[in-house]
Each structure stands twice: as structure tokens, then as C-alpha cells.
Amino acid sequence: MLDARSIHLRRQIIRALVGGGRGHVGPSFSLVEIMRMLYDDVIGPDDTVILSKGHGCLAQYVMLVEKGLVDAKELDRFCRAHALLGGHPEHGIPGVQCSTGSLGHGLSLGIGMALAHRDRRVFVVVGDGECNEGSIWEAALCAGKHRLSNLTVIVDYNKRQSYGPVDVVQPLEPFAAKWWAFGFAATMVDGHSVSVLREALTHLPIVPELPSVVICHTVKGKGVAEIEGHPFWHHKDNFTADDARRLEEALA
């Protein structure tokens, strides 16, 4: 069961989808609790969040609105010409430190920041499909080499990518063991449990002197049975007021 805050945040995502007439619905819904916990309970003013899985940006945008960094009216202009909020996060949006969306690059950016400022924490949110990219594992080797205990990778492990199940396209298991082998301390958690996420993300690093990875088991499209795990809802073009009404009713 989703609590009132998680439902509210998904409704704000729906608001943006109406504003833009399109957007990545499933990837954003699976991220809500992860981004909520980061912005509500974890990050401080000196910490950095990089949403490497940039197509899930709506989950970040609604948190930037919640924290007063972005005007809520920008959700109604999502993806329009000359709007602040586009289909992927861009440097220049208040609270966004890196332009992302070209998958596999965010972790390397985060490693550079973590190396430059070892007294500051860096959180990089990646997708499971994104972990098919070789650049993820090259970066992981580098983080392990430098023992970046101020770096945490958070994986949105929703088992689906744009064109099929992860275990069909490119299986990742044994997933946690791979991260351990690359020099990370790894844990797996329920990515929709607010209490479990809070416990995991407020007790870092997992092992002193090692970078951490928190693998979050999630459901793509979480909260609306019609779209959960459905590839049609990875990205929805021509998102209509009727689509919004159906999703809103399902969230109630």
C-alpha cells in the first residue's frame, strides 16, 4: 500500500504528464519512493544527487518542486518549447548538478565529484537496464579502486527496460555479487518501503572505506495496476486528460 505522500507525488507526476502530453510514466513511478527518501530524509546541502537514469526525471522534478527549488507551475509546462523542465534533467535546473539521460554516464560523473570532494557525499541513481552499459562497470572498477566511501549507487531494479524484461534482454544476476566483486559493499532492499529505504539510506556507507550500492527491488509503474510492468507505459505519447483521470482514480 502506498501512503498519502507517495500517492500525492504520483499525482504531481500525472500533472506534468498532462502538461507535456507525454513522458516516461513507468520509470518515474518506480522511482518515487527512492527519490522521496533521498530528498526528504537523506541529503544535506553539501550532498549531490545525480539521476543517471534521466528518463525517470519526473520523479526528481516533483521533489524539486516539493523542496521549493522549482515553481510548481513548471510542471504544467513540462516538455514544452523553452520550458525549464525537459524530458531529461539538465544542468541549470535548480537542484540538478549534471545533465543526464545518455545512459551509463552518470556514475562516471559522480565518481569525479566524489574524488574531488571526499568530504561530500554523492548519490547516483541508475536503472537496471542502464547496468547493461559497459561504462557502468568501468566506472564501478574505478570507484572500487579509490575506495570511495562517500559514493552511493542506488539501482532502480524494476526488472523491465524499454523493450523487454531485463532477464531476457541481458540478465544481471547474481547482481549484488557483481558489485561486491567490483569493490562495492552491496545490499538489496524493497524499493517501495519507506521505512526500509530510510534505514538503508541513513546508515551509509554499508562498509567503512568502500563505496556502497543499494539495489532497490521495485515495480515499473508502481501504484497503478494497469501500467505495472507494461511496456506500453515505458514512455507514453499523446497522454490525455482521460489517461490522467484513469490513473488518478486507480491511485485513490
Tens of pLDDT, residue by residue over 179-203, are 999 999 999 999 999 999 999 999 9
Find the range with the poorest average confidence among 113-127, 142-156, 222-236.
Answer: 222-236
**Angle at Cα 157 formed by Cα 125 and Cα 171, nearest 5°?**
120
> Whole domain around residue 185: which residue ranges?
4-251
Per-residue buried b or exposed e for 73-87, using 16+ beta carbons within 10 Å of the residue's own CB: ebbebbbeeeebbbb
182, 183, 209 from 146: Cα distances, Å: 11, 9, 9
- At 25, is the pLDDT very low, low, confident or very high (cuts 50, 70, 90)? very high
pLDDT at 141: 98
pLDDT at 162: 87
Q: All 3 cell numbers of residue 100? A: 543526464
Find the range with the poorest average confidence among 74-78, 100-104, 207-211.
Answer: 100-104
Q: Cα–Cα distance between 201 and 43 in angstroms, integer?
A: 9
The reported pTM is: 0.97
- How many structural domains is the chain composed of? 1
Tell me the CATH number at 28.
3.40.50.970
First-residue to last-residue Cα distance in the chain: 11
Q: Cα–Cα distance between 202 and 230 in angstroms, integer?
A: 32
**Across all residues in the chain, what is the average pLDDT?**
96
Element (H, E) at 200: helix 194-201
Q: Is the pLDDT of residue 73 over 80?
A: yes
Phi, psi of 248 (to 5 degrees): -60, -45
Cβ(111)–Cβ(118) under 8 Å?
A: no
59, 178, 214 from 111: Cα distances, Å: 23, 18, 16
- Dihedral of alpha carbons 173, 135, 220, 161, sign: negative
